[in-house]
Amino acid sequence: GKHRIVIPCLGHFKEEYEKVSKLYMNNKIRTTKYTLVNFLPRNLFEQFHRVANLYFLFLVVLNWVPLVEAFQKEITMLPLVGVLTIIAVKDGLEDYSRYKMDKQINNLLTKVYSR
């Protein structure tokens, strides 16, 4: 595997340090669950792990069958879409506040011990 090289005093080793430091992960804090790319699929995946949402999805699918159709298809979808939208907005706002807090923490000044 890879091994780690620690260079305590940069001085004339600066070029080597920059080359070696690209091989390792940074130490930034990231507590967010979502990115812009995976927000919708991941949020829907999490929401359909709730039994109530699966039940309403079952009712929507069942209402699309012509023999079982109780009332208009669009009306059956309203409660499910409403709940999914409200929860997605709530999760998005919570994740955005986590992102702002992470950004604030990652930009703090730090003290480095050096002899």
DSSP string, 20-62: HHTTS--------S--TTTHHHHHHHHHTTSHHHHHHHHHHHH
Domain ranges of the chain: 29-107
* Per-residue pLDDT at 113 exceeds 80: no
Which of 10, 5, 40 lies closest to 24 in space, CA to CA?
Answer: 5
pLDDT in tens, 15-65: 777 777 777 777 788 899 999 999 999 999 999 999 999 999 998 888 888
Q: Which residue has the tokens 């709940």?
A: 83
* Per-residue pLDDT at 6 exceeds 70: no
Pull the structure tokens for residue 55. Answer: 């039940």
